[in-house]
Chain A
Amino acid sequence: GQQLNQSPQSMFIQEGEDVSMNCTSSSIFNTWLWYKQDPGEGPVLLIALYKAGELTSNGRLTAQFGITRKDSFLNISASIPSDVGIYFCAGQRQGAQKLVFGQGTRLTINP
């Protein structure tokens, strides 16, 4: 099935650095979601975006719903060790039951 283009696939950064990742699609979505998954656990919802142009923060995390409705980005400021994990974007169309997932961004932090 369709997948979103999520980049980068992996990131290796120093503690304290800012992080940026994004997802793009060839078609529009009405909802963009960002999840984080730790090893052996299920994905945890970080931020949900419902409106084109919307910019939403959750602590050190900020996400934006692209104005074209075909992309979204997630920024993490001042990274800390517990930010390590895999981040997935997901898009949802109006009235659809299915989510379309990106391939994930694996974040590794060097202390």
Chain B
Amino acid sequence: DTEVTQTPKHLVMGMTNKKSLKCEQHMGHRAMYWYKQKAKKPPELMFVYSYEKLSINESVPSRFSPECPNSSLLNLHLHALQPEDSALYLCASRDRGNSPLHFGNGTRLTVT
């Protein structure tokens, strides 16, 4: 069982909808990540939060809006998405130093 919990597991949304993806970890990790993964490809970094502050934004379109309410929670707000945004969205967390990244099981997003 993964210690990074993501909800929902599946999400179907229209291009005019607003929805949010949620991620939670209780390992005390201080860095949390959002990745996007297309089929048969490696995860692609979107955002990194370190100590609840946004530290990396990989030039992600503004229709994706991250939020870190506290050290255990990470949200990704979605608005006016395009069909090409359909993908597996992965949350991950890690401790300080060179500790490894731990992934959640992802949210499978389909934009219609």
Chain A contacts to B: CB under 8 angstroms: 3, 30-31, 33, 35, 40-45, 48, 50, 86, 88, 90, 92, 94, 97-99, 101-104, 106
When the two chains form their complex, are residues A50 and B98 in contact, meaning their CB atoms are under 8 A apart? yes
User: Chain B's nearest CB lies how many Å from the CB of A31?
Assistant: 5
Judged by a CB distance under 8 angstroms, whether B74 is at the interface is no
For B101, the chain A residues whose CB sits under 8 A away are 33, 45, 90, 99
User: Chain A's nearest CB lies how many Å from the CB of B8?
Assistant: 13
User: Chain A's nearest CB lies how many Å from the CB of B83?
Assistant: 20
Partner of B45 from A31, A86, A98, A104 at Cβ < 8 Å? A98
Bound complex: CA A33 to CA B50 (Å) = 21
For B98, the chain A residues whose CB sits under 8 A away are 30-31, 50, 92, 94
**Range of interface residues on B (Cβ < 8 Å):** 20 to 34
Task: Tell which of B55, B90, B92, B100 has the most Cβ of chain A within 10 Å.
Answer: B100
Given contacts A42-B2, A42-B104, A97-B50, 13 further A-B contacts (CB under 8 A): A3-B42, A30-B98, A31-B100, A41-B105, A41-B106, A42-B4, A42-B6, A42-B90, A44-B103, A45-B103, A92-B98, A98-B48, A101-B43
For A102, the chain B residues whose CB sits under 8 A away are 42
Bound complex: CA A103 to CA B106 (Å) = 19
User: Chain A's nearest CB lies how many Å from the CB of B33?
Assistant: 8
Bound complex: CA A94 to CA B55 (Å) = 17
For B90, the chain A residues whose CB sits under 8 A away are 42-43
When the two chains form their complex, are residues B48 and A101 in contact, meaning their CB atoms are under 8 A apart? no
When the two chains form their complex, are residues A103 and B42 in contact, meaning their CB atoms are under 8 A apart? yes
Given known contacts A42-B2, A103-B42, is B103 in contact with A97 (CB within 8 Å)? no
Partner of B43 from A33, A40, A43 at Cβ < 8 Å? A43
When the two chains form their complex, are residues A97 and B104 in contact, meaning their CB atoms are under 8 A apart? no
Judged by a CB distance under 8 angstroms, whether B29 is at the interface is no
Partner of B105 from A42, A86, A106 at Cβ < 8 Å? A42
| 8 pairs, CB–CB < 8 Å, chain A vs chain B | A31-B98, A40-B108, A41-B106, A42-B103, A90-B101, A97-B48, A104-B40, A106-B40
